[in-house]
Amino acid sequence: MNAQQHKRKPMVIANWKLNGGIDLICTSVASFIGKHFETQIAICPPYIYMRDMLTFLQHSEISIGSQNVSKFESGAYTGETSAQMLKQAGCKLCLIGHSERRAMFRENNQSCQIKVQTALNHGLLPVLCIGENLEERDANITKDVIFRQLSEGLENINLDGKDLCIAYEPVWAIGTGLAATPEMAQEVHQFIRRELAVLLGEATAERIRLLYGGSVTKTNAKELLAQTDIDGLLVGGASLDPGHFLAICQQVSEQAIAKGNQPGSAPQSAASVN
């Protein structure tokens, strides 16, 4: 563990996907309100619930994120929501290039690149999701896939001192109950950080938080977080159970203190969540 790692404030993001409703909002809000965590926490609900959640959670430490963002600024793009709208609504971050969007909605590295830059331009924290599918892992081309997703997804990105997050989510681990082992995940995270150093410079690569996602539960969260290059978690299924998600957040918070993040330390930067 190096000094830089201490400075990366851990982060946990809940991705509700096309799930949830008023009941889930109420129980989630009740679980989190009034609690303090040594980690940044964000929930990405369906768009329709964002405003309600922002209102309910305004005095909490929980931020709201979006599951997607338009690559367009405005105009005749039916069904889209722009980065500016999300920012104005109070959203802090957006997921970009989730594997479900890549597989079902024709997202590719090029559209992700535009979305990352658009999010940055409007003061949202982009969380670029990358990861190999089972075929690619079996063919031993995981690192090639990751390299391409990173180099194309971040091509000519102008960070201008702002934050960016990468979520490594092996497609075969998403929603399957088959999480990557901590060692497997660490190997890819380490590779990602090295590639980020080549693409964006060493100092930036050391600053960027890398999240692991794919069948995270309260049982495997701690072990994953203990890895040197895993700075947080992106949680799908388990985040739909507020008690379960709370337990994950508490573990990450405890681990943050154990890893050396001082209680009460300031958020990582102005563009960070919270």
Site residues (vs ligand PEP, CB under 6 A)? 15, 169, 174-175, 213-216, 234-238
- Report the run of H or E that residue 166 belongs to, with start and end: strand 165-168
Residue type at 180 in one-letter notation: A
Determine which one of 38, 98, 122, 136 is catalytic.
98
Name beta bridge partners: 191: none
- Buried b or exposed e, range 129-145, using 16+ CB within 10 angstroms: bbbbbeebbeeeebeeb
Distance CA 235, CA 246 (A): 11
Distance CA 208, CA 124 (A): 15
Q: How far is the CB of 248 from ligand PEP (least distance, A)?
A: 10
Please list, in sequence order, all residues whose beta carbon lies within 8 angstroms of the beta carbon of residue 188, skipping any fewer than 6 positions away.
142, 143, 146, 168, 170, 180
In the bound state with ligand PEP, the residue whose beta carbon lies nearer, of 134 and 257, is 134
Residue type at 183 in one-letter notation: E
DSSP count for the chain of H helices, then E strands: 12, 8
Q: How far is the CB of 32 from ligand PEP (least distance, A)?
A: 18
Determine which one of 38, 107, 169, 195 is catalytic.
169
Distance CA 30, CA 138 (A): 43
Q: How far is the CB of 146 from ligand PEP (least distance, A)?
A: 16
In the bound state with ligand PEP, the residue whose beta carbon lies nearer, of 159 and 169, is 169
Q: How far is the CB of 100 from ligand PEP (least distance, A)?
A: 7
169 catalytically annotated: yes
Q: How far is the CB of 260 from ligand PEP (least distance, A)?
A: 26
Tokens of 27: 């129980």
- The answer to whether 175 touches 236, Cβ cutoff 8 Å, is yes
98 catalytically annotated: yes
Hey, which residues are catalytic here? Answer: 98, 169
